[in-house]
Structure 1
Amino acid sequence: MEESFYATFCSSFFYAPISLVVFSLLIFTLSWLINPSCNCEICQSYITKSWTSDFDNLCDWYTHLLRNSPTGTVHVHALNNIITGNPENVEHILQTRFENYPKGKPFSEIMGDFLGRGIFNVDGELWKFQRKMASLELGSVSIKSSAFEVVSSEIQSRLIPLLSSKENCVLDLQDVFRRFSLDNFCRFSFGLDPGCLQLSLPISDFSVAFDLASKLSAQRAMAASQAIWKVKRLLNLGSEKKLKEAIKMVMVLVDEVIEQRRKLGFFTRKDLLSRFMATTNDDGYLRDIVISFLLAGHDTVASSLTGLFWLLAHHPKVVQAIRDESDRIMGSTRNLANFEQMKDMNYLKATIYESLRLYPPVQFDSKFCQADDTLPDGTFVARGTRVTYHPYAMGRMERVWGEGSLDFKPERWLQDGVFRPVSPFKYSVFQAGIRVCLGKELALELMKIVTISLIRQFDFRAVMPTHRPRFIPGLTATISGGLPVLIQERRA
């Protein structure tokens, strides 16, 4: 229902001046936002550049700042946020002084309405318990095999038929990948099939509400003043009203998932939801767990595949190299690759790692300092300061990746044709240290099988501009306008 005239008037009258004041304060503070160790030339460059006019994305603006900082670190005083692209600092935050850099109460408050007590919004014992339960589900060979079967089935029965039906048509691959990953994750983790990738491409109320809740929650974190969204929530106005309605829709549908699993008998099943249901009768807690793992398994995989295929659509030589490698290993068959075959596809793995270097699904991650500390590069961190490491920016910094850091070059991961990893603190796409992503290997295998299955059977021609994609603010990277491509089936 639309807001009343009174509410709309109050919102416009009250928030417009506040927004102008906050914006003015940000402009006024530009001269001292950079870490004091930066030289005057860099500070002056910062003052004269506005990310809204010179950069397509906020993350590109931060990349500009970090690349030009002598330490690879900047301090945004107005937001009390230290942002770093220095691998030594990342290691310090995620491993050496892990206990001093939790998610923290400020982050939990921002995301609390959406994520509640889920794994991505808690610290301490709650986090350890959920991580332990998830590791039991994601770590076994049988579970990986089961997940592979689910994904293979979805590719053969839905994904390939859908793309074949759209031959010579323009299709939004980002939307397709979001539907694909939601179907797979729900089938694998909850034993339920939402059927989002059927040929009719049905609209999922849950997916729409989930995406909106994610986007609006992220806007809270990016707000110049936390007081603004709190007042809007108190008065139930604007974006906070929309967020409340979206979360309510998500909660209703998640409750249905939990109830269906209870009716089917969770004690006899071994999916992720059943494991947690066996440990608690608190439906609110279960709801938070479901939402958090959906965010991890659905949003990040869809975002990763979108970034990968955006790059492949603009680099046909890389596509051909993957096809050549797969032909050597699989022959000319159109059958799906198996585990053993994919293990030998070093160039494919290098391509996926390279795409994630440039377009990580989570572009930055923040912690909050509990006690005064000093980072390895000499940056002092006061208690209560937000500390952000920035995988997106790090992937574009010459000091981290050398000359040509902006180039999409899978060969940088190969040594004598064999894939060679680097330090996880240099390549922090999957976090690192104690909080390293539990689903990393599953996600990589899923990306491999999807990529090799699609590019062996279809050609994808980009119909969007060749400049870098513009991202919508959100918890995971989402391309504004989607990923429209022209699909053509390859002939034998």
Structure 2
Amino acid sequence: MSIQLLVTSFFLCFLPLILIFFLFTKTTKAKGSSPTSNNLPKPYPIIGHNFHILSNRNRRFDWITSILQNAPSATYTIYPLQGPAQIWTANPAIVQHILKTQFHNYTNGIHFRTSLFDILGNGIFNVDNGDSWKFQRQISSHEFNTNSLRKFVEIAVETELSERLIPFLSAAVANKAVIDFQDILQRFAFDNICKIAFGYDPAYLLPSLPQAEFARAFDDAIRLSEDRFQELSILVWKAKRLLNIGSEKRLKVAVSQVHEFAKNIIRDKKRELQEKPSFESIDLLSRFLISGQYDDNFVRDIVISFTLAGRDTTSAALTWFFLVTL
């Protein structure tokens, strides 16, 4: 009798897991994203794709690329243990649907915003497409469409091209030197966006290829913030942040350095504008400060967001352009 009771209790304990297994399998098939090829990773009940995610964490983008190349309609759903399901796509029609025609239906969500809040704050890339997003988009669109700023962008890019990028590449060719082309283009983009956003030249593309403190801290802050999405659970990185250990300790230091840099730039720019009221300030930061409508934290968050947008997207696009055309 005791053995029967033990077996019954054991079965009842595992009954919820059995039900979850069938519900998960049914849901996955209903969504049409279950693997149809041996080349696609198989999700498991409860843990989803976490084994695959962990084993490919050091080659995440290569792994995702291989999945999309084999997935129907170049779209696949990843089920992590923590957070919501992730839909990855390389289908232009779907990208247009999400980012343009039905953009208002898609939000970042609390998991995304929480993970990136330390570095991006309430900047345009970390707020949902509500009033705050529309407000930031409106003022940014207005500023970037002014003739003076567009002219300033042309001058900044032309100067960086003629005085740094082209001479550097010419010297590399003359010396038959091997260079990390993507790193060079990242430096080129970083100098440009800092000039446009802050009115500050980090001189990151000098011939000596210096390790600028702001650039290093910015890289660390973005990389460590992205690593939060790779944790087994959101509770893991939150616990590390609470205890101030490991990657969260390093992230805290990096974010502090980025914010301190931005704070100093804002303070110096305010002093410059006070000392030279007639000074024609045409960088993005100066325009926000001159208007007097925004507090320092708002200005800091939006300028950091533009630095992120202008640096990685530009360098990645240029790298692929040269890779495909050469």
TM-score range, shorter chain: 0.7 to 0.9
- The question of 1:276 aligning with 2:288 is answered yes
- Tell me by how many angstroms 1:60 deviates: 3.4
Map of 2:87 onto structure 1: 83
1:272-315 deviation per Cα after TM superposition (whole angstroms, max 9, x unaligned) = 11222224352222211121111011222123223333x15xxx
Contact 2:123 2:305 in 1 (8 A): yes
SS at the partner of 2:204? coil
Of residues 42, 49, 57, the one that matches 2:37 is 42
Map of 1:171 onto structure 2: 179
Contact 1:114 1:247 in 2 (8 A): yes
SS at the partner of 2:232? coil
Map of 1:305 onto structure 2: 318
Contact 1:185 1:297 in 2 (8 A): yes
Contact 1:188 1:271 in 2 (8 A): yes
Report matched runs for 1:411-422 at 5 Å.
Answer: none
Structure with bigger helix share is 2
Partners in 2 of 1:44 and 1:163 — Cα distance? 41
Contact 1:35 1:76 in 2 (8 A): no
Of residues 53, 73, 76, the one that matches 1:74 is 76
- Tell me by how many angstroms 1:44 deviates: 8.3
Map of 1:150 onto structure 2: 156
SS at the partner of 1:246? helix
Q: Any gaps of 5 or more consecutive residues in structure 1?
A: 1-27, 313-317, 320-492
Partners in 2 of 1:194 and 1:275 — Cα distance? 20
Map of 1:342 onto structure 2: none
- The question of 1:107 aligning with 2:112 is answered yes
Report matched runs for 1:240-279 at 5 Å.
Answer: 240-265=248-273, 268-277=280-289, 278-279=291-292
Partners in 1 of 2:139 and 2:293 — Cα distance? 12
Map of 1:208 onto structure 2: 216
Map of 2:4 onto structure 1: none
The structure having more radius of gyration, on CA atoms, is 2
What RMSD in Å do the two structures reach over aligned CA positions?
A: 3.2
Q: Percent identity?
A: 40
Partners in 2 of 1:110 and 1:51 — Cα distance? 18
Contact 1:34 1:76 in 2 (8 A): no
Partners in 2 of 1:60 and 1:306 — Cα distance? 16
- The question of 1:290 aligning with 2:307 is answered no
Partners in 2 of 1:237 and 1:121 — Cα distance? 25
Partners in 2 of 1:255 and 1:303 — Cα distance? 28
1:147-204 deviation per Cα after TM superposition (whole angstroms, max 9, x unaligned) = 1221111121222223333322222223322222222122223222222222333221
Partners in 1 of 2:54 and 2:141 — Cα distance? 41
Q: Any gaps of 5 or more consecutive residues in structure 2?
A: 1-20, 44-50
Report matched runs for 1:319-330 at 5 Å.
Answer: 319=326
Partners in 2 of 1:39 and 1:302 — Cα distance? 35
Label 1:94 to 1:300 Cα distance change in 2 as closer, same or farther (>3 A).
Answer: closer
Map of 2:202 onto structure 1: 194
- The question of 1:224 aligning with 2:232 is answered yes
Q: Which amino acid aligns with 2:184?
A: V
TM-score, normalised by the number of residues in structure 2: 0.75
Deviates more, 1:46-55 or 1:262-271: 46-55
Contact 1:108 1:122 in 2 (8 A): yes
Contact 2:168 2:207 in 1 (8 A): yes
Contact 2:123 2:301 in 1 (8 A): yes
Partners in 2 of 1:203 and 1:47 — Cα distance? 42
Contact 2:34 2:42 in 1 (8 A): no
Contact 1:32 1:77 in 2 (8 A): no
SS at the partner of 2:137? helix
SS at the partner of 2:41? helix
Partners in 1 of 2:183 and 2:34 — Cα distance? 44
SS at the partner of 1:75? strand
Label 1:97 to 1:283 Cα distance change in 2 as closer, same or farther (>3 A).
Answer: same
Contact 1:51 1:57 in 2 (8 A): no
- The question of 1:94 aligning with 2:99 is answered yes
Partners in 2 of 1:286 and 1:195 — Cα distance? 23
Map of 1:368 onto structure 2: none
Partners in 2 of 1:33 and 1:241 — Cα distance? 41
Report matched runs for 1:26-65 at 5 Å.
Answer: 35-36=28-29, 37=32, 42=37, 46-47=41-42, 50=52, 57-65=59-67
Structure with bigger strand share is 1
Q: Which amino acid aligns with 2:310?
A: G
Deviates more, 1:221-230 or 1:53-62: 53-62
Contact 2:115 2:228 in 1 (8 A): yes
Contact 1:114 1:213 in 2 (8 A): yes
Contact 2:40 2:70 in 1 (8 A): no
Give the aligned length: 285
Label 1:304 to 1:239 Cα distance change in 2 as closer, same or farther (>3 A).
Answer: same
Q: Which amino acid aligns with 2:140?
A: A
Partners in 2 of 1:265 and 1:33 — Cα distance? 63
Partners in 2 of 1:207 and 1:33 — Cα distance? 47
Map of 1:333 onto structure 2: none
Label 1:227 to 1:263 Cα distance change in 2 as closer, same or farther (>3 A).
Answer: same
- The question of 1:131 aligning with 2:143 is answered no
SS at the partner of 1:83? strand
Q: Which amino acid aligns with 1:159?
A: L
